[in-house]
Amino acid sequence: MAGHPSIPTGVSTPSSAKQGDLIQFSGHGVVFDFTTVTQQQRVGVFNFFDSGNQYVIGAVTPGDSGGPVADLTDGNKAIGIVDTVGVTVAPEGVNVGEAGVAVYALLQDAAAHGFSISLRTV
Q: ω into residue 8 within 30 of 0, thus cis?
A: yes
Average pLDDT, the chain: 90
For the stretch 63-74, pLDDT in tens is 888 999 999 999
Separation CA 19–CA 5 (nearest Å): 25
Q: What is the pTM of this model?
A: 0.89
| Distance from chain centroid for Cα 50 | 13
For the stretch 88-119, pLDDT in tens is 777 777 877 888 999 999 999 999 999 988 77
The larger pLDDT score, comparing residue 58 to residue 12, is at: 12
CA torsion through residues 118, 78, 106, 111, sign: positive
Q: Report pLDDT for 60.
A: 87
**How many of the other CB atoms lie within 10 Å of CB of 49?**
21
In which band, very low, low, confident or very high, does the pLDDT at 122 lie, cut at 50, 70 and 90? low
Highest mean pLDDT among 8-22, 25-39, 79-93, 97-111: 8-22
Q: Where are the domains of the chain?
A: 22-112
Cβ–Cβ under 8 Å, residues 97 and 53: no
Separation CA 59–CA 44 (nearest Å): 7
CATH of domain 22-112: 2.40.10.10
